[in-house]
Amino acid sequence: MTRLMTLIKKNLLRFIRNPKTLGFLIIIPILYYTLLGLIFGGIDFNDTTSTFNIGWVDNDPTTADYGIHPQFHLNYIFNTTNDIEGINLYNYSSKEEAKQAALEEIISSYLLFPNGFESYLENNSKINIAFWNNDTSTSTNYSIFDFYSSLVSTTYTMFDFNYYDYITGTSILSNFNDYNYDGMLIINPNFMKGLDNSWNINMTYIYRNGTSISENYYIIGSIQTLANNHFHTLGAVSNVSIPATYNYMVPDSNPFESVSFEVYFLQTLSPAIQATIENILTEVISSIINNNPLEIALPHEKKSIVGTVVNNITFSAPGYLLYGPMTILSFALIILTGEKKDGIYKRLATTEAKNWEIILSSIISNIILIFMQFGIGSLILGIFGWSPIIYSLFDGILGIVITMLLFSFLLLALAFALAPVFKSPDSAGGGVWIIIIPLAMVSGIFVPIELFGETMKAIAAWLPTRFAVVALQNLLLNGFPLTHPETLLNFGLLMLYSAVIFLIGIRAFNKFKK
Amino acid sequence: MIQNKISSNSQKRKIAIESMNVKKYFEDVKAVDDVSFKVYQGECFGFLGPNGAGKTTMINILSCYLKPKAGNAFVMGFDVEKEAYQVKKHIGIAPQENIFYEELTVYENVMFFGKMYSIDKKQLKARARDLISKVGLEVKQKVKAEKLSGGMKRRLNLIIGLVHDPDIIFLDEPTAGLDPQSRRLLWDYIFELKSRNKTIFLTTHYMDEADVLSDRLAIIDRGKIIAEGSPEHLKETIGKGDLLSIKIDGERQKILKSIEELKVNDYILDAFYHEEEMETKISAMDGVGRIGKIIKYFTKNDLQVIDVGVQRNSLENVFLSLTGRSLRE
């Protein structure tokens, strides 16, 4: 045991004493992770996936008038959206059913349309205005009812007027929040008399809190035009107007409550793809429902199917965190080939040190370094917003320890197997990157595998390093417990690969040592 | 191969190393080919040969690093193949190349290799300091090995092999590439080891080193031992012999007659009269030991010997005579 400890201590002392090694072990990972944090902490990837399988849950019992507004019908929206290339929609009767389909990876996301969605669209497709005739004066030439009729029958289909006399109008105004009006057009007292005398022909337009200035301008402008067209045709000389002083917000009025649909995503879906799906769907649905000048807002909420919504760093961290440790493969190879070249193994072989002690000390020293790399990575990614989603602290920590131990074992098995291939530290130092870079790329260490094409995904599924990435994703992204079958399966496969490579590697290495 | 009889005195001594028909081939190259020898406890055994003769391979076999293809080897009675762990307890090696950790200090290196043996920590510390001081590295003990001079590195390389106080020490070309001063310092230390009854197995291609340090030596060439014995014995029996240059006062005819009479002896390899130098040149095995006898051949013919010059036989000549090649070739 003392001898093993001495060998480990010696290995670590050599790392610390060599400035190049120290730089390699500390400065490079710090730089790497800082750059990753800076680059991916705020910028999304470009999407490369072309087909999205999306669930559709219609929980809305309300129905828009199909004859007038077919585009507000969720069935119509479903069919039109489903016709778009690259989008495959699947209908589900409930949120639970859709969630199950997502967990089974039939779909990657689903849309949930709540109660009142179609009514919301229909209501928001018109401007509902209360017409309050607050004028008790009369005209010999003009009729207020004719004017109201002309407004109702206008070709501006987005307006919907409801008439109230001077008594009921007061009640509507005082209980404005109880009605579904965007605003109220008030025929001011002496309006009719004014028409006859060509003076004081003003109206008032009051609007609901939350109505935009541009919408108000549009409404006021339209009403003024309609009124003047009507009265001028009948011989009126003066213009009817809604002066600025007669345009204000209904006191204490509340804005309309919007009805949002919800977009649920699997956490394993990269934020970039989530954003892509979200943008495509909102754009498509908006373009279906909006066929009038006043755009209906399409509020929606983005949610995660399991747990919370993840950012780019959190999504990609399980892969990134394995890159630092993976570089130890190069380091281990340089040491193994270097010690052989320098005759260290030969000298140690003549001492009482046993072969297993020498190999185990090398494994333990490198495992310490691998954990150090993981620590540096975690710390820096944490600064840039990495927020692991774990089942429990115990599962998270123990899961990381097990994954890193197995990953270390795999890397060192590879180092032992590759040492006889490269022979010298110079060729090992450079040559090993021919293996590290593609292995890291295809395993999804650099770039999330979700952005790969199907062929590359299939290749990645067979790589041992991929099992480590998936195990960490399950533990740190999906919030799976340590005992989750998928995590255990990845541990098992990683262990199996490592054991096979280790047996081959150690055999080749023992031969190489001599 | 010329095999000299081991003295009866040697036969009574305990055997430290024994090689019995050991063979080691690397593909088609016969690095060690049927090599047998014995090294006795307390002696310095020189293993002499040119580069690539098989010296280091033999050390690697005896130190349990390589397994022989055939034959048996024993160190302190333990089989190097079957009882390697026991063998390693008794041996220390100073390899041909400097093998230690450049990033560690002198003291750390000595302590590290010491800890590779089961030695008490207190004892090890004391021993490390003692060894460092004995080879003059005291002031450098906290200096990283990479900062040492070539001579200092050789000394460190040596003491690392001695830190566990082994009974048998393998010194593989210990002074190769050293300046005369460092070489002398190492020789002194090897003499001290000998005085402490340590068995030393020394490989070298320096004739003078083998001559000075070895009690007995074996000459190996192309994997085979071609001669074995004490340096003196080998020089007396193999090679051109000692060269004697004798100036004689007297008639030329009498000198020539004496030379002819002298040539009858087996130990005379060559004898002739050099007209220009007016000297008689004689090559004779153990010529120095037989000077009196040789001179008598001239004096009995009424000749007077004025001057006798002696050039002793060397191990270089022994090797040249055995192989037809120089050791450095």
The SS3 call for residue B28 is coil
Q: Which residue of A has its CA nearest to B109?
A: A10
Residue type, A368: I
Query: Does position A440 have pLDDT exceeding 80, yes or no?
Result: yes
Structural domain boundaries in chain A: 2-41+311-513, 52-116+262-304, 122-249
What residues pair up with B78 in beta bridges, in sequence order?
B75
Higher pLDDT, A127 or B12: A127
Cβ separation of A10 and B112 shorter than 8 Å? yes
What residues pair up with B79 in beta bridges, in sequence order?
B74
What is d(CA A412, CA A443) in angstroms, rounded to the nearest whole number?
Answer: 18
Q: How confident is the model at residue A293 (pLDDT cuts 50, 70, 90)?
A: very low
Q: Which domains does chain B have, with CATH numbers?
A: 2-236 (3.40.50.300), 241-312 (3.30.70.100)
- Give how far Cα B324 sits from Cα of A1, B49, B266, B317, Å: 54, 13, 22, 9
SS (H, E, C) A385-409: CCCCCCCCHHHHHHHHHHHHHHHHH
Q: Is residue A240 a contact partner of residue A194, using CB atoms and an 8 Å limit?
A: no
Q: Does B93 touch chain A (CB under 8 A)?
A: yes
What is d(CA A401, CA A471) in angstroms, rounded to the nearest whole number?
Answer: 11
Q: Is residue B263 a contact partner of residue B38, using CB atoms and an 8 Å limit?
A: no
Query: Does position A292 have pLDDT exceeding 70, yes or no?
Result: no
| DSSP assignment of A280-335 | HHHHHHHHHH--SSSPPP--EEEEESSSS---HHHHHHHHHHHHHHHHHHHHHHHH
What is d(CA B88, CA B302) in angstroms, rounded to the nearest whole number?
Answer: 66
Residue that the structure tokens 């097990």 belong to: A402
Average pLDDT score over chain A: 84
Cβ separation of A6 and B93 shorter than 8 Å? no
What digits encode the pLDDT tens for the residues A76-112? Answer: 889 888 888 778 899 999 999 999 998 888 898 999 9
What is d(CA A203, CA A147) in angstroms, rounded to the nearest whole number?
Answer: 13
Tell how many helices (H) and how many strands (E) occur in chain B. 12, 15
Q: Which CATH number fits domain A122-249: 3.40.1710, 3.40.1000, 3.40.1580, 2.60.40?
A: 3.40.1710
Beta strands at B304-311 and B268-274: parallel, antiparallel or unpaired: unpaired
Q: Which residues of B147-171 are buried (b: 16+ CB within 10 A; e: fewer)?
A: ebeebbbbbbbbbbbbbbbbbbbbb
Chain A residues with CB-CB distance to B91 below 8 A: 350
pLDDT, residue A43, reads 39
Give me the phi and psi of B169, to 5 degrees please. Answer: -120, 125
What is d(CA A58, CA A74) in angstroms, rounded to the nearest whole number?
Answer: 7
pLDDT, residue A50, reads 57
Which of B107, B99, B102, B157 lies closest to A20, judged by CA?
B102
Give me the phi and psi of A324, to 5 degrees please. Answer: -55, -55
B268-274, strands of its sheet edge to edge: B268-274, B279-284, B242-249, B304-311
Cβ separation of B144 and A17 shorter than 8 Å? yes
In total, the C-beta contacts within 8 angstroms joining chain A to chain B are: 59
CB-side neighbour CA atoms (13 Å) of A399: 31
Residue from the list A347, A348, A352 with its beta carbon closest to the beta carbon of B85 = A352
What digits encode the pLDDT tens for the residues A215-263? Answer: 888 889 988 998 998 998 888 888 888 988 889 999 999 988 878 888 8
Residue A84: count of CB within 10 angstroms of its CB: 13
pLDDT, residue A185, reads 94
- Given a cut of 50, the residues of chain B with pLDDT beneath it are 1-10
Residue A266: count of CB within 10 angstroms of its CB: 20
- Give how far Cα A506 sits from Cα of A90, A296, A339, B246, Å: 52, 68, 16, 70
Query: Does position A367 have pLDDT exceeding 70, yes or no?
Result: yes
pLDDT, residue B108, reads 94
Q: Is residue A410 a contact partner of residue A463, using CB atoms and an 8 Å limit?
A: no
Cβ separation of A3 and B64 shorter than 8 Å? no
Q: Which residue of A has its CA nearest to B63?
A: A350
Q: Does B113 touch chain A (CB under 8 A)?
A: yes
B29-40, strands of its sheet edge to edge: B29-40, B15-26, B70-75, B78-79
Beta strands at B304-311 and B199-204: parallel, antiparallel or unpaired: unpaired
What residues pair up with B92 in beta bridges, in sequence order?
B169
Question: Interior CA angle at B273 toward B271 and B278, to 5°?
Answer: 140
Mean pLDDT within A479-503: 90
Chain A residues with CB-CB distance to B60 below 8 A: 346
Give me the phi and psi of B73, to 5 degrees please. Answer: -135, 140
Q: Which residue of A has its CA nearest to B104?
A: A14
Question: Interior CA angle at B92 toward B86 and B97, to 5°?
Answer: 135
Q: Is residue A129 a contact partner of residue A159, using CB atoms and an 8 Å limit?
A: yes
Q: Is residue A482 a contact partner of residue A398, using CB atoms and an 8 Å limit?
A: yes
Q: For residue A426, give every residue at least 6 positions away whose Cβ sits within 8 Å of its Cβ, in sequence order, or none.
A: none
- Running DSSP on this structure, what letter comes out for residue A452? S
CB-neighbour burial class of residue B87 (10 A; exposed 0-12, middle 13-18, buried 19+): buried
Chain B residues with CB-CB distance to A344 below 8 A: 99, 101
- Give how far Cα A494 sits from Cα of A67, A474, A488, A508, B168, Å: 61, 14, 10, 21, 48
Q: Which residue of A has its CA nearest to B111?
A: A6
Q: Does A10 touch chain B (CB under 8 A)?
A: yes
- Running DSSP on this structure, what letter comes out for residue B50? -
- Give how far Cα A123 sits from Cα of A70, A324, A447, B323, Å: 14, 56, 45, 113
Q: Where are the beta strands (DSSP E) in A62-158?
A: 87-92, 109-113, 127-133
Q: Is residue B109 a contact partner of residue B145, using CB atoms and an 8 Å limit?
A: yes
The CATH homologous superfamily to which domain A52-116+262-304 belongs is abc type-2 transporter like domain (3.40.1710.10)
Q: Which residue of B has its CA nearest to A340?
A: B99
CB-side neighbour CA atoms (13 Å) of A458: 3
Distance to chain A for B14, nearest Cα, Å: 23
Residue that the structure tokens 């003491």 belong to: B159
Q: Is residue A365 a contact partner of residue A339, using CB atoms and an 8 Å limit?
A: no
Q: How confident is the model at residue A304 (pLDDT cuts 50, 70, 90)?
A: low
Q: Where does residue A190 fall: left (phi above 0), alpha (psi -120 to 50 degrees), or beta otherwise?
A: left
Q: Which residue of A has its CA nearest to B94?
A: A347
Query: Does position A386 have pLDDT exceeding 70, yes or no?
Result: yes
Q: What share of chain B is helix, strand, coil (3-state, %, to 5)?
A: 35, 30, 35
| DSSP assignment of B93-148 | EE-SS--S-TTSBHHHHHHHHHHTS---HHHHHHHHHHHHHHTT-GGGTTSBGGGS
Q: For residue B314, give every residue at least 6 positions away whose Cβ sits within 8 Å of its Cβ, in sequence order, or none.
A: B207, B211, B235, B239
Q: Is residue A368 a contact partner of residue A330, using CB atoms and an 8 Å limit?
A: no
pLDDT, residue B36, reads 92
Which of B276, B283, B273 lies closest to B252, judged by CA?
B273
Q: What percent of chain A has pLDDT over 90?
A: 21
Which of B117, B218, B274 lies closest to A353, judged by CA?
B117
CB-neighbour burial class of residue B63 (10 A; exposed 0-12, middle 13-18, buried 19+): buried
Cβ separation of A351 and B64 shorter than 8 Å? no
**Token representation of residue A88:** 């495959």
Cβ separation of A352 and B60 shorter than 8 Å? no
Is A122-249 in the same CATH topology as A52-116+262-304?
yes
Q: Is residue B91 a contact partner of residue B170, using CB atoms and an 8 Å limit?
A: yes
Q: For residue B60, give every residue at least 6 positions away whose Cβ sits within 8 Å of its Cβ, in sequence order, or none.
A: A346, B66
Q: Which of A270-284, A487-501, B251-265 has the highest mean pLDDT?
A: A487-501
Cβ separation of A514 and B93 shorter than 8 Å? no
Q: How confident is the model at residue A48 (pLDDT cuts 50, 70, 90)?
A: very low
Q: Does B118 touch chain A (CB under 8 A)?
A: yes
Residue B329: count of CB within 10 angstroms of its CB: 10
Mean pLDDT within A125-142: 88
Higher pLDDT, A269 or A9: A9
Residue that the structure tokens 């006795």 belong to: B40
Best of A351, A355, A356, A358 to disrupt the B interface (most B CBs within 10 Å) is A351
Q: How confident is the model at residue A42 (pLDDT cuts 50, 70, 90)?
A: very low
What digits encode the pLDDT tens for the residues A316-348? Answer: 888 888 888 888 888 888 888 888 888 888 888
What residues pair up with A109 in beta bridges, in sequence order?
A54, A265
